[in-house]
Amino acid sequence: MDLGLSIAASGMLAEQVRQDQLSNDLANTSTPGYKRDSAVQSSFGSLLLANTQTGKPIGSIVDGVTISKIVTDLTQGPIQQTGKPLDFAISGTGFFAVRTPAGVRYTRDGQFEADAAGQLVDATGNQVLDQNGAPITVGANGTVAAATLGVFNVTGAAKQGDNLYTGTAAGRGAGVVQSGALEGSSVDSITTMIDMIGALRAYQSGQQAIQGIGETLREDAQSVGSING
């Protein structure tokens, strides 16, 4: 494959992944406790260029890019007062813990409720846990003391979907739980939309490069055909 085509195609694929990541962030602008992601690009490597007659090195050229990883920014979002007794926000570091069918998971989304058994659960019915890993019972007055909720320091926190994280609990987090409040999403919608426009323009530049290279190759092929004829 022509090197220019390969470089342009890899850039388009990388921008498509970035566009998907930005679209997901934008869709979660209003999701409590949501953390924005960043797509990290890196090069495949570089080719050493040399003089074809003497073999003397004359430089190198990067032969394409890829998305090497998606990084989640765990910086705290704005805390918003809701006045709802079963809404909770962590001011500072740490995660709430919930028990899911796949095991214990962690979240910054404190939009909880009481289930039919009177236990504190998240929006999908997962039990919210205290610092000892036990379920939390909602009081007869429909409230739970903020200090009852566990706040866990989590190492290797990684998104797994549904605003939940996997990771390893490593003691108590330093954050303080506030009741009647929720942590807002860390996504800035205006900045994200600007980044999406930039990713789209980079993708279109790759398309134009491929079209230009394709036209050049077509003309070269026609020229060779004319000479041979």
Same domain as 224, residue 136: no
112 exposure class (CB count in 10 Å sphere: 0-12, 13-18, 19+): buried
Among residues 94, 86, 106, the alpha carbon closest in space to that of 146 is found at: 86
The pLDDT tens digits for 36-46 are: 998 876 655 54
pLDDT higher for 28 or 47? 28
Mean pLDDT (the chain, rounded): 86
Same domain as 58, residue 122: no
Same domain as 177, residue 120: yes
Write down how long the chain is. Answer: 229
Same domain as 99, residue 151: yes
Same domain as 91, residue 179: yes
Question: Which residues form the domain of 55?
Answer: 3-73+188-228
**Count of domains observed in the chain:** 2
Rounded to two decimals, the pTM is 0.74
Strands 152-161 and 127-128: unpaired
**What DSSP string describes 74-118?**
-----EEE---TTBEEEESS-BEEEEETTEEEEES--B-EE-TTS
Number of Cβ within 10 Å of residue 15's Cβ equals: 23
pLDDT at residue 203, as a whole number:
76
Report the distance separating Cα 182 and Cα 144, nearest Å.
Answer: 15
pLDDT at residue 228, as a whole number:
54
pLDDT at residue 18, as a whole number:
87
Same domain as 93, residue 61: no
pLDDT at residue 25, as a whole number:
94
Same domain as 176, residue 85: yes
Same domain as 52, residue 128: no
Same domain as 207, residue 172: no
Same domain as 98, residue 151: yes
The pLDDT tens digits for 108-143 are: 999 999 999 999 999 999 999 999 999 999 999 999
Same domain as 143, residue 104: yes
Same domain as 96, residue 61: no
Of 146, 163, 183, the one marking the end of a domain is: 183
